């Protein structure tokens, strides 16, 4: 397993210039270009503040930027204009994959609706996020996401950001090869709350997580870095090898 780029990094200073810009729900327009009659112009919001919203709301599961990888959620680089559920090597929920096949495109309107309440747009999503009610914060977040999309405002050198919620583990712990069969045996305690199907019924899905993210998350609970008393109690009883086995099982579990 490879180490993930999880250290917090500074936001590019160039994001500040986007604070008063304007976009439409369709493709980016050149400056001075007329707005088509069927497109509503919407305020882009404050991208610099949107980076802070991203850090607090999104970065625990997603990465963004030139070096971004898929994590708990798919990477969000160039999300604007992309058909839903089309990132390679990421296991989407059946519901989101179906929406993608039906033609769902991520633009201002669809992203705004999804961030407001993911289940309103995709009822069977595995995204364990309750939604962001603050419309201004959503506009700022979308402005931040827009800076990593293909458009005249693209800032390809802007770095990814991530929340510091993972411990620094020795390489030998991260290198442990988990036994998925043993992990399946151990998983009975996990699946009293988390569903094997990946369904999110108030309890976050842990199905198809990348192994290293799973290992880091459980060690974060075990060390107290993540403050959830039940998870802290459960992980305190697990060895490094058992955590690796659970990670191997849930990474490959079939819905």
pLDDT tens per residue across span 82-115: 999 999 889 898 889 988 998 899 988 899 989 9
Is 7 buried (19+), middle (13-18) or exposed (0-12) by CB count in 10 A? exposed
SS3 132: coil
Confidence of residue 150 (pLDDT cuts 50, 70, 90): low
Q: How many CA atoms lie within 13 A of 73 on its CB side?
A: 21
- Domain co-membership, 32 together with 99: yes
Contacts of 233 by beta carbon, 8 Å cutoff, 6+ apart? none
**Mean pLDDT (whole number) for 26-32:** 38
Q: Which residues face 83 on adjacent strands?
A: 105
Range of the domain at 74: 13-146
What does the block give as tokens for 232? Answer: 């802290």
- Helical (H) or strand (E) element with 22: strand 22-24
| CB neighbours of residue 55 within 10 Å | 17
Alpha helices (H) in the chain, listed in sequence order? 47-57, 94-101, 108-116, 118-121, 135-146, 171-174, 180-186, 211-223, 229-236, 240-252
Task: Report yes or no on 165 lying in a domain.
Answer: no
Confidence of residue 224 (pLDDT cuts 50, 70, 90): confident
Q: Which of 59, 23, 90, 147 is nearest to 100 (CA)?
A: 90
Task: Evaluate if residue 195 carries a pLDDT over 90.
Answer: no
What CATH number is given to the structural domain containing 135? 1.10.760.10
Q: Are strands 22-24 and 41-43 parallel, antiparallel or unpaired?
A: antiparallel
Confidence of residue 227 (pLDDT cuts 50, 70, 90): confident
Task: Evaluate if residue 235 carries a pLDDT over 60.
Answer: yes
Task: Report yes or no on 189 lying in a domain.
Answer: yes
Task: Evaluate if residue 62 carries a pLDDT over 50.
Answer: yes
**Mean pLDDT (whole number) for 10-24:** 28
Last residue of a domain, one of 146, 161, 196: 146
- Domain co-membership, 26 together with 98: yes
The Cα-based distances of 32 to 10, 28, 45, 49, 108 in angstroms read 32, 12, 19, 26, 20
- Domain co-membership, 233 together with 112: no
pLDDT tens digits along 64-81: 988 899 999 999 999 998
Task: Report yes or no on 136 lying in a domain.
Answer: yes
pTM: 0.60
What does the block give as tokens for 28? Answer: 């980016």
Considering the chain, what percentage of its residues have pLDDT values greater than 70? 75
- Domain co-membership, 176 together with 230: yes
Q: How far is CA 227 from the centre of its chain?
A: 20
- Domain co-membership, 225 together with 176: yes
Task: Evaluate if residue 12 carries a pLDDT over 50.
Answer: no
d(CA 70, CA 210): 8
- Domain co-membership, 139 together with 228: no
- Domain co-membership, 42 together with 126: yes
- Domain co-membership, 141 together with 19: yes
pLDDT for 173: 95
Any idea which of 37-46, 163-172, 202-211 has the lowest mean pLDDT?
Answer: 37-46
SS3 183: helix
d(CA 38, CA 2): 47
d(CA 183, CA 224): 23
């Amino acid at each position: 397993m490879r180490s993930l780029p999880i250290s917090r990094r500074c936001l590019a200073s160039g994001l500040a210039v986007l604070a008063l810009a304007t976009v439409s729900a369709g493709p980016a327009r050149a400056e001075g270009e007329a707005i088509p009659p069927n497109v509503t112009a919407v305020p882009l919001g404050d991208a610099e503040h949107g980076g802070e919203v991203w850090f607090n709301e999104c970065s625990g599961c997603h990465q963004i930027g030139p070096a971004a990888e898929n994590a708990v959620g798919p990477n969000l680089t160039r999300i604007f204009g992309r058909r839903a559920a089309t990132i390679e090597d990421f296991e989407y929920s059946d519901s989101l994959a179906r929406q993608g096949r039906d033609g769902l495109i991520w633009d201002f309107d669809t992203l705004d609706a999804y961030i407001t309440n993911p289940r309103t747009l995709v009822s069977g999503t595995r995204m364990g996020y309750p939604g962001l009610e603050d419309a201004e914060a959503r506009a700022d977040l979308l402005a931040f996401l827009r800076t990593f999309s293909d458009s005249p405002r693209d800032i390809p050198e802007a770095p990814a950001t991530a929340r510091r919620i993972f411990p620094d583990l020795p390489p030998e712990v991260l290198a442990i090869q988990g036994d998925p069969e043993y992990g399946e045996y151990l998983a009975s305690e996990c699946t009293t709350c988390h569903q094997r199907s990946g369904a999110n019924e108030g309890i976050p899905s842990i199905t198809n997580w990348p192994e290293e993210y799973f290992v880091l998350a459980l060690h974060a609970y075990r060390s107290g870095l993540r403050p959830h008393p039940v998870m802290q109690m459960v992980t305190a009883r697990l060895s490094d090898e058992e955590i690796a086995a659970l990670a191997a099982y849930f990474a490959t579990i079939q819905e």
